[in-house]
Structure 1
Amino acid sequence: MNTLSSHWLALVFFICGAFGSQAQTQFLLVPDRVFDGEQVHTNWAVLVESDQITATGPADQIKAKPGATFLRLEGCTLLPGLIEGHAHLLLHPYNETPWDDQVAKESDALRVARATVHARKTLLAGFTSIRDLGSEGAGYADVGLKTAISEGIIPGPRMLVAGRAMVATGSYGPKGFDTDFTVNLGAEAADGDDVIRVARDQMGKGADIVKVYADYRWGINRVVLPTFSQHELSLIVETARSGGRPVVAHASTAEGMRRATLAGVETIEHGDGGTPEVFRLMKEKGVALCPTLAASDALNQYKGWKKGEEPEPAVIRLKRETFKEALKAGVTICAGGDVGVFAHGDNVRELELMVNYGMSPADVLRSATSINARVFHMDSLVGKIVAGLKADLLVVKGDPLKNISDLRKIEFVMKDGVIYRN
C-alpha cells in the first residue's frame, strides 16, 4: 500500500476536488476513532472503493488491494458526512439583505449565482446532504441546483428539495406594499380542495418534499396564528403520500403543531411554542422536530443585542424551554438550523447550540447523521459508515464526541468517493 506524505495527499485532494472525478484507487482510512453514525470505535479502519464504503471494522482485519492509498489520520475522528436538515441555499443572511428584499427585489439569476457558492460552502463544511426547504420566491431553482450538483456541473451536497412550498392565502409574503399591487409571495398560495392540485403540481415539477406553513402572521398583524385547517392539512398529506413524498410543516404555535401532527406530517420545523401535550402527541405519532435553534440565535444577534450587555431575549428563552420539553417527551430530534438566515458553511452552529441547550455531543452527532438519514428516507444511501452505503465521509481533528466544536477542524470531506477538501 502507498502511504501518502502531506504534500502528495494535498495534491490528491486538489485533483479530486477540483475536477470532481471518481477516485480510481482504493482508500484505506485509519483514524484514531470512527463514529459510525451510532457508536464510536477505536482502532478501526474504513475501506472506500469508487463511490462506496466497501468494508469497516478493526484495522488489522481490513485488507486493501495492492496499490491502495493508505491514509493514517492521527489525532482525527472519521464520521459519516453530516446531513443538514433545514437549509435555504437561495437565501443569504438577513443582516445582509432583509428577507422581503431578497424575495421581492433580487432576480432569480442573482440568487442562483449566490446559491452555487452556498452549495460549495455547505459541502466544504462537511455537510454532504441537505434538505432545502423552499426556494423562497425563486420558483423551482432548487430543482435546477439539485440537478446541477448531481450531474457534476457544480460541487455541492446531495439535495432533497421542496420547490415553492405551500401557504394559505393572505398569510405569507413581503409586507408594506399597496394592497392593489401583486408581490412575489415567496411560496405558492392554496386553499380548500385546491391544495390537492397544488401539491400534485409541485411534485410534478420536481419537489421531493411538500412543505406547508401550518401557521404564520396574517396581514400586518404580527401575531402568529394557524393558517390551514385540519381538513386542508390532511388533504395535503394524503395527496403527497400517494405521490411518494413526505410533508413537512413550518409550525411555531401549539395549535399549528397539533394540526400538522394529526394530519400526518413527518417533521415539524421550528416548534417554538410547543407544549408538553403537543410534544407527547408528536412522540405518539412518530413526528420529528427540527428545532432550528441557530436561526433564532442569529436573528437575535441581528437585532443588535450583544452578549453580556442585554438580558436574554424572550424568544431565546422560549427556544431553550421548548427544546428541553421536546427532549423530555422523547421526541425524535433532527439537526437543522434554517441556514440561509445565517451564513452557509456555518452549519455547525446548530449542532453547537443543541449541545448548549441540553443534548449530549453523541446524541447530536446521531441526529446529524443516522437519525436525519432515517427520518429523511436517505438511510439506504448515507448516514452511517457501513459497507454498501455511499462514501460520504468527514474527517476532523480532535474528538467531537467530547467537544462538538471540533467539527469545525476539518481535515477533509469526501462525497461519493471524491475528496473535495484538504
Structure 2
Amino acid sequence: MKTFNLTLIFIWVLFTCSAAQQNPNDTYTLLKPDRVFDGQQMHAGWWVLVKGNRIEAVGEPNTITTPSSAKIIDLKGETLMPGMIEGHSHLFLHPYSETIWNNQVLTESRAERTARAVVHAKATLMAGFTTVRDLGTEGAGYDDVGLKAAIIKGVIPGPRMLVATRAIVATGSYGPKSTVAEASIIKGAEEADGIDGITHAVRSQIGYGADVVKIYVDYRWGPNGTAEPTFTEAELKTAVEVAKSSGRIVAVHSGTAEGMRRAIAAGVTTIEHGDNGTPELFKLMKEKGIALCPTLAATEAIATYVGWEKGNDPDPESVKQKHISFTEALQAGVTICMGGDVGVFPHGDNAREMILMADYGMKPIDVLRSATNVNATVFQLKDLGNIKTGYIADIIAVEGNPADDIKSVKQVKLVMKDGVIY
C-alpha cells in the first residue's frame, strides 16, 4: 500500500510540473492578417505574435520569431486592429423605441435591468468593442460596479469597463419628475448642490467604485423644457478639482453654449454631445486639450423614434445642428472621441457611430484612430488602444480594409480580449 501511495504521489508531481509548464502566460498565438492597423497607421503584410495576454511582437513576417508551439491563425483578406473602445455607453439602458427612458427607470426592476446589461455587455464585446466608458446607470445605482467585477472575475463575458456609477445632476433638473411634491420616485442620477454638496457626491461615487465622474452641466429644465445650465462655474471647478485629485477623468453632458463655456472654464476632460458649440468654444477646447464625444448616432436614433425617415425626409433641426457642430469641431482641430451614447440605440451596433463620423466628414483612418488610440489616450487607458510590443492583447480582425470602407468595422471576424479569443 505504501508503494502504491508513493507511485500516486510521483505521478501527481509529474502532472503538476507538466501543468505548470503549460502556463497560459507562456502560450503563443500568431495572427496572420493581410494588414495591421496599429492604432495610428495601416501596415500591409504585418503579422502579430501574442504571448499570453500581451503582444510579443508586431511587424514584417521576417522580423518575428515564432515558436514551434504557436497556434497560427490565418486571417486572409482581413485587417487586424486594436480592440475598439466605446466612449459613451449606458449598458443599463436599451433603445427608447422599445421602452421610453422614464419607464425603464421607473418600471423595470433592478434585476431585469442587470439581466439586460449582461446581455448588452456580451453583444458589445462580440461587436469588437473590448472596452467601454459607461457613463451612468440611469437609476440603477452602483450596479455597473458589480457588472464590471463580474466581467473581471470571468463570471460573464464582456468588455473592460470604466464606470461612472450614478452620475451627478443639480437638484430639480433631471428626471423622472413628478408634480406631486410628496412623491418619492427614483432619480436617473444623484442630485447635488453647492460646493459642499458636489464635493460630497464626487467623493462618494469614487468611494463606491467610479472610474470616471459624469456631470450634467445643463439639461432640459428651463421654461417650457428648454435646455439651460445647471451647476455654476464655481461648482464645476470644485467637482473637477476633487475628481482629478483622485486621478479620475471628468465627462460632462452639455448641449448648450453656456454649459459648454462653464465646463471648459472648469477644465473637464470630455464634453459629451456639444450640440450648440460655437467656433469660439471649439477653439477653447482645442487650446485646453478638452475632447468632444459627439454622439451622432444617438441624435439620429432619437429623430427616427419620432418619425424621421433618413433618406426620405428632410433632416430635422437636431440632425442639421449636429452636422454643423461636428464640422466646426473638426475644423477647430478638437480631439474627437468615438462614442455613440449606446443604449439610446442597440448595444452591439456601436459601430453605427463610426460610420456616421465618416459620413459627417471625418476621414476613415481618423475614425479608426478615434475608436482606438485616441480614446485610450483621453481615457488614460494604459497599454490599450494600440498594437505595440508589450501592450495588452485586446485585438480584433475585421473583413476588408476599414481605412478604405469604414463599414468594414461591422464585419468582425475575430475578437481577442486579454489574450483570450471569444
- Which residue in the other structure is 1:90 paired with? 92
- Which residue in the other structure is 2:80 paired with? 78
Q: Map 1:100-179 onto structure 2 (within 5 A).
A: 100-179=102-181
Aligned to 1:245, which of 225, 245, 248? Answer: 248
User: Would you say 1:275 and 2:310 are equivalent positions?
Assistant: no
TM superposition shift of 1:177? 4.7
- Which residue in the other structure is 2:353 paired with? 350
- Which residue in the other structure is 1:312 paired with? 315
RMSD over aligned Cα atoms: 1.3
Q: Is the 8 A contact 1:76 1:396 kept in 2?
A: yes
How big is each residue's C-alpha offset from its partner over 1:149-202, in whole Å with a ceiling of 9 and x where there is no partner?
011110000000000000001100113552331211110000002111111111
- Which residue in the other structure is 1:47 paired with? 49
Aligned to 1:322, which of 316, 325, 337? Answer: 325
User: Would you say 1:226 and 2:232 are equivalent positions?
Assistant: no
Question: What code does the residue aligned with 2:411 have?
Answer: K
Q: Map 1:19-30 onto structure 2 (within 5 A).
A: 25-30=27-32
- Which residue in the other structure is 1:292 paired with? 295
Report the Cα distance in structure 2 between the residues aligned to 1:220 and 1:39, rounded to whole angstroms: 49
Q: Runs (4+) of structure 1 moved beyond 2 Å?
A: 21-25, 175-180, 307-310
TM superposition shift of 1:243? 1.6
Report the Cα distance in structure 2 between the residues aligned to 1:187 and 1:62, rounded to whole angstroms: 50
Question: What code does the residue aligned with 1:414 have?
Answer: M
Q: Map 1:257-276 onto structure 2 (within 5 A).
A: 257-276=260-279
Report the Cα distance in structure 2 between the residues aligned to 1:324 and 1:134, rounded to whole angstroms: 28
Structure 1: gaps spanning 5 or more residues: 1-20
Q: Percent identity?
A: 58
- Which residue in the other structure is 1:196 paired with? 199
* Stretch deviating more after TM superposition (213-222 or 285-294): 213-222
- Which residue in the other structure is 1:15 paired with? none
Aligned to 2:409, which of 391, 400, 407? Answer: 407
- Which residue in the other structure is 2:366 paired with? 363
Report the Cα distance in structure 2 between the residues aligned to 1:308 and 1:156, rounded to whole angstroms: 34
Give 1 or 2 for the bigger CA radius of gyration.
2
TM superposition shift of 1:25? 2.7
Report the Cα distance in structure 2 between the residues aligned to 1:229 and 1:150, rounded to whole angstroms: 38
TM superposition shift of 1:22? 5.3
Report the Cα distance in structure 1 between the residues aligned to 2:102 and 2:72, rounded to whole angstroms: 51
Task: Return the TM-score normalized by structure 2.
Answer: 0.93
Aligned to 2:257, which of 251, 254, 258? Answer: 254
Task: Return the TM-score normalized by structure 1.
Answer: 0.93
- Which residue in the other structure is 1:11 paired with? none
Report the Cα distance in structure 1 between the residues aligned to 2:290 and 2:418, rounded to whole angstroms: 30
Q: CA 1:22–1:101 in 2, change beyond 3 Å: closer, same or farther?
A: farther
Report the Cα distance in structure 1 between the residues aligned to 2:26 and 2:157, rounded to whole angstroms: 19
Question: What code does the residue aligned with 1:266 have?
Answer: T
Report the Cα distance in structure 1 between the residues aligned to 2:250 and 2:27, rounded to whole angstroms: 41
Q: CA 1:199–1:408 in 2, change beyond 3 Å: closer, same or farther?
A: same
* Stretch deviating more after TM superposition (404-413 or 214-223): 214-223
How big is each residue's C-alpha offset from its partner over 1:14-42, in whole Å with a ceiling of 9 and x where there is no partner?
xxxxxxx9586311111110000000111
Question: What code does the residue aligned with 1:153 have?
Answer: V
* Stretch deviating more after TM superposition (236-245 or 324-333): 236-245
How big is each residue's C-alpha offset from its partner over 1:221-274, in whole Å with a ceiling of 9 and x where there is no partner?
310000000000001011111222111110000110110111010000000010
- Which residue in the other structure is 2:392 paired with? 390
How big is each residue's C-alpha offset from its partner over 1:112-149, in whole Å with a ceiling of 9 and x where there is no partner?
00000000000000000010000100000000011110
Q: Is the 8 A contact 2:222 2:228 kept in 1?
A: no
Report the Cα distance in structure 2 between the residues aligned to 1:70 and 1:220, rounded to whole angstroms: 63
User: Helix, strand or coil for the counterpart of 1:309?
Assistant: coil
Report the Cα distance in structure 2 between the residues aligned to 1:148 and 1:22, rounded to whole angstroms: 21
- Which residue in the other structure is 1:6 paired with? none
How big is each residue's C-alpha offset from its partner over 1:284-308, in whole Å with a ceiling of 9 and x where there is no partner?
1110000000000111111112234
Q: Map 1:64-75 onto structure 2 (within 5 A).
A: 64-75=66-77
TM superposition shift of 1:392? 0.5
User: Helix, strand or coil for the counterpart of 1:53?
Assistant: strand
| Corresponding pairs, count | 399
Question: What code does the residue aligned with 1:27 have?
Answer: T
Report the Cα distance in structure 2 between the residues aligned to 1:267 and 1:126, rounded to whole angstroms: 23
- Which residue in the other structure is 2:217 paired with? 214
User: Helix, strand or coil for the counterpart of 2:194?
Assistant: coil
Structure 2: gaps spanning 5 or more residues: 1-22
How big is each residue's C-alpha offset from its partner over 1:369-410, in whole Å with a ceiling of 9 and x where there is no partner?
0000000000x2210000111100110111100111111111
Question: What code does the residue aligned with 1:233 have?
Answer: L
Report the Cα distance in structure 2 between the residues aligned to 1:244 and 1:70, rounded to whole angstroms: 40
Q: Is the 8 A contact 1:22 1:417 kept in 2?
A: no
Report the Cα distance in structure 2 between the residues aligned to 1:113 and 1:296, rounded to whole angstroms: 26
TM superposition shift of 1:217? 1.3
How big is each residue's C-alpha offset from its partner over 1:333-387, in whole Å with a ceiling of 9 and x where there is no partner?
0000000000000000000000000000000000000000000000x22100001
Aligned to 2:35, which of 17, 29, 33? Answer: 33
